[in-house]
Amino acid sequence: MELLGQYKVDHRQRKVAIVSQDSFYRVLTPDQKAKALKGHYNFDHPDAFDKELMYQTLKDSVEGSVVEVPTYDFVTHSR
């Protein structure tokens, strides 16, 4: 099992980061926002997430780069 790219690091030097998948929800269109306000938007569907941003953020983190994890605002449905 690879531990986020730290499998070659001494166990005393490993670092752990918890990243919420909620941080990577897509910014909703006006139509999607209207559905969300009525409880009709499926936030569990895979298309609800910005997979490219999630992948790039995790990849950069594993490579040792400093990354900024977005904060999703559930009121405005934006980051």
Task: Convert the pLDDT of each residue in 38-71 to its tens digit.
Answer: 999 999 999 999 999 999 999 999 888 889 999 9
Asked if residue 64 is part of any domain, the answer here is yes
Q: Is 73 a catalytic residue?
A: no
Contact 72, 22 (CB under 8 A): yes
Instruction: Give the separation between CA 32 and CA 11, rounded to whole angstroms.
Output: 45
Strand partners, 69: none
The catalytic position among 22, 44, 47, 60 is: 22
Q: What is the reported pTM?
A: 0.72
Asked if residue 15 is part of any domain, the answer here is no
Asked if residue 11 is part of any domain, the answer here is no
Instruction: Give the separation between CA 24 and CA 26, rounded to whole angstroms.
Output: 6
Asked if residue 68 is part of any domain, the answer here is yes
